Structure 1
């Protein structure tokens, strides 16, 4: 159990630093649209969909790697709480259209990216199985 926590914690530490770095590289525009957090969350949906689907088919990826990348890194890199606070702030500032656009892009974009990630993971897993059979 302690070793698993170490892998999750290390992944979380790196994921948090990466999220912070990306959010600083992509500044908040004058419109207030939180494009950095949207990009981070969409990338996380794509990656996690791919990674977990591929991991289910791959015996080459260890349980520790799954904990490090899937739970730790991706869990800390993506941020539902920032998404919700950003949305509330947009509503509070009277930016109704921007807030709804952000919600729709986040939710539906996240689902689309996860579906794409799952599809890629399945294809890669099937290709790998075909090569080893």
Structure 2
């Protein structure tokens, strides 16, 4: 009986799951370590702004789907923290500190949009040029 020389096929969804998990581990570890640091401000803002920049960059580079899963969904998904940011805002509101809550919302949205746009522009700028198209 002859042995099969075919390479075993990996189910595409299993590969996607692996890529998301592989990216999530370093993102979660960085997030965990950032929670113990103090940069003179709110670390939730810091990780969310970094995540916005990285996501903008990968969108600007137009990376293929596998890289988007690894970096975007996996890494940035575990690094950034929308829910913790909301809890911070709700806590400030509950304590009657409306100006600080509105400031936190404004700063996070402003910096997030700004750094997301900066990442997008940098990703587009660093994108390798398209190969020339031959016209007949």
Fold similarity call, TM over 0.5? yes
What's 2:44 paired with? 37
Query: Is 1:51 aligned with 2:58?
Result: yes
Which structure ranks higher in relative contact order (CA pairs < 8 Å, sequence separation ≥ 6)? Answer: 1
Extract unaligned runs of 5+ from structure 2.
1-12
Matches within 5 A, 1:102-121: 102-121=104-123
SS of alignment partner, residue 96 of structure 2 = coil
What's 1:70 paired with? 72
Normalized against structure 2, the TM-score is what? Answer: 0.79
Paired residues, what number? 120
What's 2:129 paired with? 129
Extract unaligned runs of 5+ from structure 1.
none
- The runs of at least 4 consecutive aligned structure 1 residues that moved more than 4 Å come to none
Which of these two proteins has the greater Rg computed from alpha carbons? 2
- Structure 1 residue 47: deviation in Å? 1.1
What's 2:7 paired with? none
Q: CA RMSD in A?
A: 1.9
Task: Select the residue among 85, 88, 95 that pairs with 2:87.
Answer: 85
Deviation per CA, 1:31-82: give whole Å up to 9, x if none. Answer: xxx610001101110111012211x1x6xxx643331111100011001111
Normalized against structure 1, the TM-score is what? Answer: 0.81
